[in-house]
Structure 1
Amino acid sequence: MSQGRRRRINVENVGDVAVVTFIDKRILDEQNIQVIGEQLFALVKEEGRKKILLNFDAVEYLSSAALGKLITMNKNVKEVKGQLKLCSIRPEIYEVFEITKLNKVFQIYDDQEQALNDFK
């Protein structure tokens, strides 16, 4: 497997929810963001997952390009009538969600347990 194609996310199943954690602390590099996007989209497009929780616990930095992938991911999940939730976003990253009004687009929770309890 080439360097760029390494898994950039971990997926753990909690009931019927795919809980995604990110391997990288800093999601800034264009190539990594591309790979993260592909791996996230594959959950919906290839694996048919409808309930997805993105846990940002390990993430310290997120570029605007990464936000673009999240917006596309949200669209993909909506197309299959699924649910996408985000949790454990650091305050300095959450600020970016507020500035871009993405905190209104995404369902964002303080922690994983809270988010998991809210899946229907």
Structure 2
Amino acid sequence: MHCLSAILSWVFITGRLAWPGLGILSIAARLKGREKLVISTREKNDILIVDIEGEIRRSDITDVTLHQWIKQQLERGKRKILLNFEKVDFIDSFGVGEILASYISTNNLGGKLKLVKISKKLFLIFQVTMLTKVLEIFDDEQVALESFFKE
């Protein structure tokens, strides 16, 4: 990892941000046996793409949850958010709640939150919790991006 990435990083440990204030999360390691959740952001055509890596789970280590971080992005005017789950290894009920709360907050502000590249295992969790009926989930990032403009 480059020093600049470390400086511009937030550490997101199993469901909560440790350093609010910047815009990129980018440290991959283990802390006390727990996998860190790494979040990197990029933009394409006014769409905030959030690349998530690791595990989305409850943690009492830090102060800002994924939902709170997304709300911060909404406050900054982001209304089109695509969560890329390609490298998400695990999600617990807390993480599912964070995704649902983020969807509701985004929707309430007239925005759209969509998901892309979810593993079969995680997709099954979303099916069991019936979130597949609420969330738009795509296999292909380009198709997901185009869907923001078809509405």
Question: What is the TM-score when the length of structure 1 is the normalising length?
Answer: 0.87
Out of 37, 61, 65, which is 2:94 matched to? 65
| Largest Rg, 1 or 2 | 2
Aligned to 2:28: none
How much has 1:33 moved relative to structure 2? 9.4
What is the CA–CA distance in structure 2 between the aligned matches of 1:9 and 1:2, rounded to whole Å?
8
Whose helix fraction is larger, Structure 1's or Structure 2's? 1
Aligned residues: 118
Aligned to 1:13: 43
How much has 1:38 moved relative to structure 2? 2.2
Aligned to 2:131: 102
Question: What is the TM-score when the length of structure 2 is the normalising length?
Answer: 0.70
Whose strand fraction is larger, Structure 1's or Structure 2's? 2
How much has 1:40 moved relative to structure 2? 1.8
2:88 maps to amino acid: V
- Give aligned-pair identity as a percent: 26
Contact 1:11–1:20, Cα closer than 8 Å, also in 2: yes
Give 5+ residue unaligned stretches, structure 1: none
Give 5+ residue unaligned stretches, structure 2: 1-8, 12-16, 20-24, 26-37
Higher relative contact order (CA 8 A, sep 6+): 1
Contact 2:82–2:113, Cα closer than 8 Å, also in 1: yes
